[in-house]
């Protein structure tokens, strides 16, 4: 699932911002493709969303370079 779809449920953006320490506006920018998801926060986003939004979803163009261990999953 992409982040924009995940955030479609009311309250999720604020909850994700609170849990990750990222500003809600920054999360909106990530979800709308304005900014890339920061590598150092991708695992936290995956964890907070209970795997609904994965690191692969957040970084589709370079996840295999950052987390090669995910290629076997």
Residue by residue, pLDDT tens for the chain (73 residues) are 999 999 999 999 999 999 999 999 999 999 999 999 999 999 999 999 999 999 999 999 999 999 999 988 7
Residue 6: the pLDDT is 98
Q: Which two tokens stand for residue 72?
A: 């076997």
Q: Find the Cα–Cα–Cα–Cα dihedral 46, 20, 6, 56, rounded to 10°.
A: -30
Residue 34: the pLDDT is 98
Domain ranges, ordered by start, for the chain: 3-72
Residue 72: the pLDDT is 84
**Total-model pTM:** 0.92
In 3D, which of 55, 56, 54, 53 has the Cα closest to residue 5? Answer: 53
1 neighbors 46 (Cβ within 8 angstroms): no
In 3D, which of 37, 35, 34, 27 has the Cα closest to residue 6? Answer: 27
3-state secondary structure of 69: helix
Q: Does the domain spanning 3-72 belong to CATH 1.10.260.40?
A: yes
């Amino acid at each position: 699932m992409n982040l924009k779809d995940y955030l479609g449920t009311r309250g999720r953006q604020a909850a994700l911002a609170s849990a990750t320490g990222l500003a809600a506006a920054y999360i909106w920018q990530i979800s709308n493709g304005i900014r890339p998801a920061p590598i150092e926060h991708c695992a936290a986003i995956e964890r907070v969303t209970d795997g609904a939004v994965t690191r692969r979803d957040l970084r589709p163009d370079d996840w295999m370079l950052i987390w090669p261990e995910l290629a076997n999953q």
